[in-house]
Structure formats: C-alpha cells, structure tokens
Structure 1
C-alpha cells in the first residue's frame, strides 16, 4: 500500500492510525500525526492553510455508481434520487443540488457502507472514486459507473508542520515512485 511504499522509500517508520475525517485536521495541526496521504485540500478545508501539502500523487475522479439503473447523462437525471456519500466529505458539484433537495444526500460512514446500501436498495446511486469503482466492479460486476464531471482531484499527502518527515522528502519519494512505476503498481492506474 501507499504507506508501506512511502516508508520504504523514505526510511521513515510509519504507524497507520485509523481516524474519522473530522479528527484528521486537528491531529495534523497538533503534530500527533505526521502526515495523511490520499487526501486533498477540499477534504480538509478548515486546516488547509495550517498544514503543508505534498505534490500530487495521482489524479482521480468521482463517479456516480448504480446497480444496472437506467443510464444517466446529467445531474438532472438524478432528480429526487438518493445518493450515498461519505459523511463530512465535500462534493463540489453536488452540494448545490443537495442543499436544494433536488438530490437526496444519504450519508454513510464510508464507501463500503454506502455500497451495502446500494446493494440492498436503500440508495439509488453512490459516489465512488474511479479507483474504488475499478476495484469494486471486480467484486460486483453489476455495478455501472457514470462520469458526470462530479469532480476530478489530485490526491496528495497533508503534512504536519511538526512532522519529523519533511514535505520535500515526501515529494522526493513520490517522484521516485512515479518514475519507477511503483505508484502505478500500487494503484493499478491505467
């Protein structure tokens, strides 16, 4: 995984600590955690200026995923539909529709929970990154994805200003892993 690869590339001993989204920012600022990877500024808006950001690890995009539902071509096709998303995550191109109740936001603790809701008919669609969709499609062949331009994002690491591992060292590791093809192998990027 990415954490293990960064540890190997930097020589930094890494301990993985699962945290809810709302605790990530404060833990980074306090220095209780050194860095978080597979994140971006839009997901940590309250602390984005208080932490350092690595170079982009790779680009990804969010897709709408359904179980064999009628194909959709625009957000208007989602009128009054229930869309499973991760609680406390921000989806720039969906927020207005959520706030106006044109699309019903169904918060779940994580994407796995949202997929279970989809599989049991409790939501009409879920939002998954293209990387997550590729993985889940292998497990659930009935899944269909639609790219409606929800958002494209560059995945990065957020680094505490108190981290013993510098952002420049992380950037060097990212560059080396890109050059060697290690990131492509980790994420099986097309």
Structure 2
C-alpha cells in the first residue's frame, strides 16, 4: 500500500511539473504607448499587456513579465529565461527556427514621418543624405542598405516617443515610427504639433514566439493565440487604443 501511494505521489508530481503555473513573458523597455505602459519598470498597460493578460487567462496560468533592453530580450529567449515573447517577427530574429511561432496577430507598419507640410517621399531611397530619427537598437531591414553605404545616418533615441519628440523639435527632418505610436503621439498633441507619414518604410506581420520546450504547454499556447486572432479578440484589443 505504501508503495502504491508513493507511486501516485510521484505521478502527480510529474504531471504538475509538466505544466508551469506561471508563464514568463518579456517586454522591451523602449516600447511606448499604445504598445506598452511602464510604471516603476513594470508593464502595467497597453496593447501587449492586454494580450499577455488575456492569453494567461485563457490558459489558466499566471503571467510574469521581465522588462528588458532589446538586446537582452533576444539573449533571454535563447537562454530559456522567458517562455513567450510577443510583438516579434521571424524576420527580426537570426535563429528564428529554434522557436515555435504563433499565427501572425497584426501588422507592424514602419512609417517615414515628418512635420506637417513635408512632401510625400516616393521611396525610402529618397532619404539619401538625411539624418533619420530611429530607436536605439531597433532593426530596420529596408533602411539598412542605405545605412551600410553611408547614404543615411541614424540619430538614435532610447524609445519611440523620444524619436518623435526630437522630430517635432526640429532635430532632424525625418524619423521612422511604427503606425500605432505615431497615431498615439498625434492623439496627445494639438493640431499645430501633429506629425505626418510621408512614406511607408516596411510592413511586417508580428506574432508571438514560444520557447520549444517539452515542459511548456506549447500547443495550448499556440492554439489560444490562434483563437484570440480568429475570434476577433486581438482586433478588439487594438481598437481600444486607436
């Protein structure tokens, strides 16, 4: 009888150990609203916070979020110290094949932005000779060939909001901003300070990556994200911040 009880306890321990009670997510400290709202170095609101919280609720698991610099997020994913990273594309990760990927959740659109009155740019190549506002550590594949040959110089700021503030102050003529951040910036500024998109740099579908680990409920996570997308839940979250 004692052996039987011990065997049951061991089986119960193995089963409970197979599915962690807490999923470990990441957030990049240079994100700004509407993507992320940080207070005391903790993620407290924004699109990504809502996605993380709703996904965790669907799975019946707690969520912990590590707020990290962009370069450390990639290292944390490789080392296994985070389980899920959202708002990312395989095109941005050199070793993307080592992770599992959700369905694309929405479109990340990088825009070429200027102050009001600037003429539209036909192509990114029209930025040749310019110093362009960008976010420190961010990758801009469409812009990189121009940077590599010295045709474009990056003027970097710590986050997207600071990039737009510097553009408004006249530090440079053009900047790169994702569409959500630009809309949020304009929403919180008077008409005289509105910034405008003068071109599209690139469009990239973004998703969540999941650490490929047998101890994680990877298929449940991927199914839940697919359900959030197909049910319209992701779109409803995005709509709250428009």
Q: TM-score, normalised by structure 1?
A: 0.87
Task: Identify the match of residue 126 of structure 2 among 74, 77, 80.
Answer: 77
2:31: which partner in 1?
A: none
Tell whether 2:236 aligns with 1:185: yes
Matches within 5 A, 1:90-101: 90-101=139-150
2:166: which partner in 1?
A: 117
Contact in 2 for aligned 1:87/1:107 (Cα 8 Å): yes
What secondary structure is seen at the aligned counterpart in 2 of 1:158?
strand
1:147: which partner in 2?
A: 199
Deviation (angstroms), 1:15: 1.2
Larger RCO: 1 or 2 (CA < 8 Å, sep 6+): 1
Structure 1 CA distance, aligned partners of 2:116 and 2:214? 46
Q: Which has the larger radius of gyration?
A: 2
Gaps of 5+ in 1: none
Tell whether 2:144 aligns with 1:87: no
Contact in 1 for aligned 2:114/2:196 (Cα 8 Å): yes
2:110: which partner in 1?
A: 62
Gaps of 5+ in 2: 1-49
Structure 1 pair 20/89, CA: closer, same or farther in 2 (3 Å)? same
Task: Identify the match of residue 104 of structure 1 among 148, 153, 168.
Answer: 153
Deviation (angstroms), 1:165: 4.0
Which segments of structure 1 move beyond 3 Å, counting only runs of 4 or more? Answer: 162-167
How many residue pairs get matched? 188
